[in-house]
Structure 1
Amino acid sequence: MIENKLIKNLIVINLIFLSLILFTKVTFLYRLLLVLLKSIISPVVVSVFFYYLIRPLNVIFIKKGLKNSEAAVLTLFIWTFALTGIFYYFSNSISYELNGLIKEIKTIGEKDNNINKALDEINKYIDINQIYRVSTESLNNYMKDAVSNLLKGFKYLMDSFSKFLLILITIFYLLKDGEKFKEGFINFFSNKNKEKVSKILEGSHVVLSQYVVGQSKVALSLSTLIFLGYKIIGMPNGLLFSSITFILAFIPFVGFFISMIVPTIIAISLGFTMFIKLAATFIIVQTLKGRVVVPAIMGHTMKIHPLTDIFLVIGAIAFGGPLAAFIIVPIYGIIKIIIDVLLPDKIKKKLSM
């Protein structure tokens, strides 16, 4: 009986994959899916991230006796005000450092140092002059279409505003009616399956909450540590580089390494001593991250082996870019919960043996 159910489930899974493959062959539907992914799914992912980030404050307001709608509005107002203040406070310093970084990158090419040697080595395999010519031609074509580009810029601005508005509205209704959405979704299923669906939703809620809050704390801790390291060794543009680290640290494992690429290039241009200082700072911060920060904040909440994490993130980057790399770990955790709930107990016992 169990074997027959297993075979049926495998057949269903294969049919789903076959349907997805056929779906990608239908150009109109495939383009429609891409539009939905860009216009709706991506903002919803961002909304869910911020929802779990600000939800603890919303829960406090509800416990204090505020209505759900009042708590949601107050929570959104406080977080929007706080994020706007943080952005305004750091934007001037980051802009100043960004201008300094651009000047530094321009001067790197004029120096007779290791960067030029590296570029000469790269030039043996890649025709940099050809790339420059193509880039110049592309720039000229871009300037010729200035009016068209202006319209595209306006369209991009309107698109960004609509997505921002969609994100705010989605967060508001998630804070206000999160429990109602859950109950309404469960009611779509028969009484026989309601308990299983409820377990899946509860488990998924815990995974997403732990991942978003935990990863945010890790990113903040990591960027703070690397900023202090930059200040100690005298690395220029420390605030800008640590801000980039904060953003990329939301991508598990590889994000921190990617954020160190530009600082490494700058350190090489400043001399061998600065490069050694930066390498030592990176090793110390990476060690603290692996031995102290991540275990203390994340612990073993996701119950995923680090090697599995690495393969998931690298594969996600290859197929879907940074957004996919950010969401792949919680998706994997949710899939594990679904399998654990739906898999018969007898099969679980056999697998655990």
Structure 2
Amino acid sequence: MEEKIIKYLLIINLVFISLILFTKVTILYKLMKILIKAVISPLLISVFFYYLIRPLNEVFKKKGLKSSVTSALTLTIWIFILSGIFFYFTQLITPELNGLINEFKNIGEKNSHINKALDQVGKYIDISNIYKMFMESVNKYMQNIVQNLYKGFKYIMDSFSKLLLILITIFYLLKDGDKFKNGFINLFPYKYKNIVSSILEESHVVLSRYVIGQSKVAFSLSIMIYIGYRIIHMPNALLFSVITFILAFIPYIGFFISMIIPTIIAISTGFTMLIKLGITFLIVQTLKGRIVVPAIMGYTMDIHPLTDIFLVIGAVAFGGPLAAFVIVPIYGILKIFISTIYRYVIKERLSK
């Protein structure tokens, strides 16, 4: 028993040492960053949208259409839907975004202590010198306009290529998802095919439930927060509800992050608005924790809330928002992998 513990501890230490050494090798570290940016990030986004639009694809398949036709039809419908939603909300949110900018300007004008602080800073810092430096930077920027246009063009082309990669990946996932699965299983020896198939099948079910469930939770949360903001007359309610919808895909801490800007506005507005916002937050958080999440998500991931929180916080510190977004399903898949291997080992021992 002690030998096994020492063996596992040595393996864990070797893994950590390998990771540390890997980060010290500059070329490999840069290569990994490029791979994450160019390949892994678009792939993760593709998988997310694949599970989101897959139910519609399954409906078309049941109608007897070919897989290529159903994939193209599903992708086209969702592109039109998402484009319509994007343009519709852009028209509604743009005035609210301008209002939010004006709101922050008013915060500085309303609070005399902020103005006094700025006056105190002006005694020690030469504002005219800062203005001069600013104008020099603008002139330099204008002189390098060709270079800046090239950078802008490069950014647009990079974004377009990633979007195209995402669309192509989604199409082939919809079209040949089962083929990819069978091809991956065939890479393993015959005696391991059942266990690999079991891991893939369980992971597929968990990912599908998680993506669709988390989307429903995010939508429900944004609707509740929009209604709450309208009731308490919080400005830019639609903009804040959209932000809440996006951040709600990060479990637990996403909703708290979405409350930062409304809280700043509430503080500048007055104590009454701050109390109203606090009550709204408590009501929405209670409804989310007691009704929405249990009803929609159930026990999909079978992960304790405290584990979720630590996973997300650690992921944010290590890899930013994208890592926080994917850490929970990755953890769920790892649990499936370990538990399946464990069951397989126990079964093999009992058969002997």
Question: TM-score over 0.5 for the alignment?
Answer: yes
1:74-124 C-alpha deviation (Å, 9 max, x unpaired): 10011110011111111111001000110111111011368x39x959x99
2:62 corresponds to 1:63 = yes
Q: Which residue of 2 aligns with 1:172?
A: 171
CA distance 1:138–1:62, shift in 2 (3 Å)? farther
1:44-65 C-alpha deviation (Å, 9 max, x unpaired): 0000000000001001110111
Q: Which residue of 2 aligns with 1:351?
A: none
Give the conservation status (yes or no) of the 8 Å contact 2:50–2:173: yes
Gap regions ≥5 residues in structure 1: 349-353
Give the 5 Å matches for 1:187-198.
187-198=186-197
Shift of 1:335: 0.7
2:287 corresponds to 1:288 = yes
2:130 corresponds to 1:144 = no
Distance 1:62 1:17 in 2: 46
Q: Which residue of 1 aligns with 2:25?
A: 26
Distance 1:338 1:56 in 2: 25
Shift of 1:233: 1.2
2:337 corresponds to 1:338 = yes
Distance 2:196 2:4 in 1: 19
Shift of 1:150: 2.4
Distance 2:188 2:345 in 1: 24
Q: Which residue of 1 aligns with 2:72?
A: 73
1:207-231 C-alpha deviation (Å, 9 max, x unpaired): 2111111110000000000001111
Distance 2:138 2:322 in 1: 28
CA distance 1:8–1:70, shift in 2 (3 Å)? farther
2:309 corresponds to 1:313 = no
Q: Which residue of 2 aligns with 1:206?
A: 205
Q: Which residue of 2 aligns with 1:269?
A: 268
Give the conservation status (yes or no) of the 8 Å contact 2:219–2:245: yes
Distance 1:307 1:196 in 2: 30
Shift of 1:345: 6.4
Shift of 1:18: 3.4
Letter in 2 for 1:309: D
TM-score of the two chains, using structure 2 as the length reference:
0.89
Distance 2:340 2:63 in 1: 35
Gap regions ≥5 residues in structure 2: 348-352
Shift of 1:143: 5.8
Distance 2:345 2:172 in 1: 41
Distance 1:139 1:200 in 2: 61
2:156 corresponds to 1:160 = no
Which piece of structure 1 moves more, 236-245 or 260-269?
A: 260-269
The secondary structure found in structure 2 opposite 1:110 is helix
Distance 2:298 2:133 in 1: 52
Q: Which residue of 1 aligns with 2:98?
A: 99
Distance 1:32 1:139 in 2: 38
Letter in 1 for 2:275: I
The secondary structure found in structure 2 opposite 1:264 is helix
Letter in 1 for 2:168: I
Which piece of structure 1 moves more, 228-237 or 20-29?
A: 20-29
Give the conservation status (yes or no) of the 8 Å contact 1:245–1:256: yes
Letter in 2 for 1:238: A
Give the conservation status (yes or no) of the 8 Å contact 1:113–1:269: no
The secondary structure found in structure 2 opposite 1:109 is helix
Q: Which residue of 2 aligns with 1:108?
A: 107
RMSD: 3.0
Q: Which residue of 2 aligns with 1:329?
A: 328
Distance 1:209 1:234 in 2: 37
Q: Which residue of 2 aligns with 1:254?
A: 253
Letter in 1 for 2:30: R
Distance 1:11 1:136 in 2: 60
The secondary structure found in structure 2 opposite 1:79 is helix
Distance 2:345 2:181 in 1: 29
Distance 2:298 2:168 in 1: 33
Distance 2:321 2:290 in 1: 25
Give the 5 Å matches for 1:121-132.
none
Shift of 1:22: 2.4
Q: Which residue of 1 aligns with 2:39?
A: 40
TM-score of the two chains, using structure 1 as the length reference:
0.88
Q: What is the aligned length?
A: 342
Distance 1:157 1:73 in 2: 25
Give the conservation status (yes or no) of the 8 Å contact 1:142–1:149: no
The secondary structure found in structure 1 opposite 2:235 is coil
Shift of 1:135: 11
Q: Which residue of 2 aligns with 1:218?
A: 217
2:181 corresponds to 1:182 = yes
CA distance 1:138–1:221, shift in 2 (3 Å)? farther
CA distance 1:218–1:344, shift in 2 (3 Å)? closer
Q: Percent identity?
A: 66
Distance 1:287 1:175 in 2: 37
The secondary structure found in structure 1 opposite 2:243 is helix
